[in-house]
Amino acid sequence: MPQSRKTGNVRPPRRSVSSRAVAPVGQRLRGISSLRFMTLALVTVGLYADALRNGFVTDDTLQVLDNRFIISYRYIPKLFVTNVWAFRHSDISNYYRPLQMLFYMGEHYLFGFHSWIFHLANLLLNFAVVCAVYSLVRALAGETLAFWTALLFAVHPVHTEVVVWIAAVPELLCALSLFMAMFLYHRARNGIRPVQSHSLATAVFFAGLFCKETAMVFPVVLLAYEFFFRRDSVRSIFLGLRRLAPYACALCTYLIIRFRVLGAFAPGFLRQQLHSPFTSWQIFLSVPVLLREYIFKLLLPIDLNYFYQFIPQREPGWDFIFSAALVGALFVVMFWLRKSQALLAFALAWFFLTLAPALSISSVGENVFTERYLYIPSFGFCVFIAWGWLRIKETARTRAVLITAYSSITLLLIFYAVQVVRRIPDWRSDLSLMQKTITQSPGVPQIQSGLGVAYYQTGEFDLAISPLERSLALNPDSYLPHLYLALTLSALGDNQEASAHLARANELKPRFEPPWPLFGQVYVNLKQWNQAIECYRNALVIEPENPVLFTVLGEALQEIGETQESISAFREAIRIEPGALDASTNLAITLSQQGNTAEAVNLLASALRIHPSGPHVDAAWVNLGTMYAQMHDWDAAEAAYEHALELNSNLGIARQLLESVEKNRTRLK
């Protein structure tokens, strides 16, 4: 019995459908599908093409650039026995997502640390999710509804955060697994290679569990599919629970692994509960309000924000009453639709069930309301909008109504696309994101601090001070603004104020994983070398394979005259990262000062062959030229200085040394 292509009354098949029965339909629609597939590809990838210009933002730097676990395949086993922050020696985390880290590792091995590659991977993953949405709706309700649902999903602005933020890749991977698993389960229930389809669905679902915790709701989604979409009775569902046995086994296996790795279901959550800012009563009052805000953001996706300031409800006011009434009404509608529009009832159930984990206010972190949590649930919303528009179009009795319907959907898609295009540049860098967010959430201390940190990282020290001070005014007991004020003020030469903020940062720093390199940098700025050395050694306990830490440790050791220890530190940095330029330059200078100029030249020349571009390359060429000059190899020295000037024409020291070489050559003649 082929599926109905009418959207006005979508009825799921009541009997099994063989693969041979549906094949002719697929053949008839193949031409249309190709055209619509190309449309979805052009819209999805083209809309987000500007994101390829974006860099690594916020957590991207930590999880990708500073993650030693993804730079070597030997860490693959470790990815499956640690939490996502284990590379920072963190034992406290709710997140067990080894496939996220494995995905990053694959990107790094194939293409290196180029931000546009990571963004391109996100764009392609998002397109794969759109195709999965299309395939699922086509299987449930036909070609036309599938296309319009997928198109709306592709352009909905609330998805921008997920697509343009590299750290949001778990959302993309989890979404892809859930939509594919649902599609395969539906095929199995319709008799299309049931054993194979159930097996594949279970495997895809199992993989999704290792991408993001949201996948755990999938067995409940399957029960909703049976009840709402297939309209089976509770008794029939109970008798058919054996169909869910593979999925239950997959979930149990995952939970066992999770418990063994984390030591509990959510150890971070259990610790947070001891200091939870929300009481049970506040959570009860706040959940309906939070759910209402998610619904409204889907309906009107404007003023997109990286960090929403969610204020918990403290008493049952009108906001709570309205939100609870709205949620209750939607539940009533969901059960009412089961009788006449099974697909819409299932779409609502999908929305509620996949959003449910985000409503656990005490366990989702500081940012209670966030757009990325709507990526998977928005599928239900897109089904509703697409179905409603097609219903209006199909029942239009006049040309005017038809024109109005097409004009409305066109304007909606244009509005969505404009919102996406306008939002992408906000995610260009930490600075652009914080500058935008601070206009939307000025009362959030983390954002004030984030803006100050962004200014510091771009070298705009004067601009960094004000937002860091505003952050402390909002939250005086936060150590990070104190630490960055110490960094900024010490860089500006205000050592007295810097020392005061450094002392306060030391008092407030967390027991677990304080940012020792940042503390070390402050001590370097203050020329307190012994304290800096202690900080860098503490950091190396956490990151024993970090070449940068060995390099800065070696530089600090040189300042107190520990030459041999500094040489050992530089050599360790080069062992970890062959050709590490800063370490090679420092070591070459030290060897040259000890009279080992030939070894120094070979070392630095080799490093420059490995790193012909990047930070400090011009200075390295100047040092190489000086070493050639010490050997009286004037031609090589001249070539090195000229190369340094090609890289940086404003490098005055290179020009002076080049003139010195010419004078020495003339004098010797």
Residues 362-379 have pLDDT tens digits of 666 677 899 999 999 999
Rounded-to-integer distance, Cα 655 and Cα 652, Å: 5
pLDDT value at residue 145 = 95
Helix (H) or strand (E) holding 581: helix 581-593
Mean of pLDDT values over 423-430: 96
**3-class DSSP state for residue 48?**
coil
Nearest residue to 502 (alpha-carbon basis) of 474, 475, 535: 535
Range of weakest confidence among 9-18, 205-214, 415-424: 9-18
pLDDT value at residue 5 = 37
Q: How confident is the model at residue 221 (pLDDT cuts 50, 70, 90)?
A: very high
pLDDT value at residue 655 = 84
* DSSP letter (8 states) at residue 476: T
Q: How confident is the model at residue 261 (pLDDT cuts 50, 70, 90)?
A: confident
Helix (H) or strand (E) holding 652: helix 652-668
Rounded-to-integer distance, Cα 393 and Cα 405, Å: 6
Place of tokens 């009563």: 281
Which ranges constitute the DSSP H helices of 48-159?
59-60, 76-79, 98-111, 115-141, 143-155
Question: Would the pLDDT of 134 be above 60?
Answer: yes
What is the crossing angle of helices 529-542 and 516-525, to 10°? 160
**CA separation, residue 33 to residues 18, 135, 150 (Å):** 21, 10, 12
Q: How confident is the model at residue 309 (pLDDT cuts 50, 70, 90)?
A: confident
Rounded-to-integer distance, Cα 523 and Cα 546, Å: 20
Six token digits for residue 397:
């009795």
pTM: 0.85
pLDDT value at residue 52 = 96
Question: Would the pLDDT of 546 be above 90?
Answer: no
**3-class DSSP state for residue 339?**
helix
pLDDT value at residue 17 = 34
**CA separation, residue 461 to residues 45, 154, 453, 464, 487 (Å):** 38, 40, 9, 5, 9
The residue type at 48 = Y
Q: When comparing pLDDT for 482 and 261, which is higher?
A: 482
Q: What is the DSSP string of 435-475?
A: HHHHHH-TT-HHHHHHHHHHHHHTT-HHHHHHHHHHHHHH-
pLDDT value at residue 365 = 61
Mean pLDDT of the chain: 88
Question: Would the pLDDT of 18 be above 50?
Answer: no
What is the percent of the chain where pLDDT is above 90?
A: 67
pLDDT value at residue 101 = 93
pLDDT in tens, 566-619: 999 999 999 998 988 999 999 999 999 998 999 999 999 999 998 887 778 889
The residue type at 73 = Y
Mean of pLDDT values over 416-437: 96
- Taking the CA atoms of residue 306, residue 311, residue 312 and residue 313 in that order, the dihedral angle to the nearest 10 degrees is -140
**3-class DSSP state for residue 370?**
coil
